[in-house]
Amino acid sequence: NAELNDKSMKPFHNKTWTITDPNGQKTWPSHDPKVQIDFFIMKNCSLKDLSHQTINEKIASDHLPIKAKVLFQ
């Protein structure tokens, strides 16, 4: 559980990695999201299209669920 600019996320800030929706919707806490700490991170992918969505489900977890649609080249 880290925000994108946290120290633990720094290794993913290069061209080797793709992070879905890096400036997207906040995901935690689910009852009143204040920070984005949930991402899909993919390595060495050639993508044709990528979409990312936060799902408004506040009961299942303390994080809002996320889903991504990935179309590889």
Residue pair 40/66 in contact by the 8 Å Cβ criterion: yes
Tokens 């992070």 belong to 19
pTM above 0.75, yes or no: yes
| pLDDT digits 0-9 by tens, 17-64 | 998 887 788 999 999 999 999 999 999 988 888 888 999 999 999 999
pLDDT at 51: 87
Assess whether pLDDT exceeds 90 at residue 1.
Answer: no
- Rounded CA gap, 17 and 11, in Å? 9
pLDDT at 66: 92
Residue pair 25/4 in contact by the 8 Å Cβ criterion: no
DSSP bridge partners of 71: 49
pLDDT at 20: 85
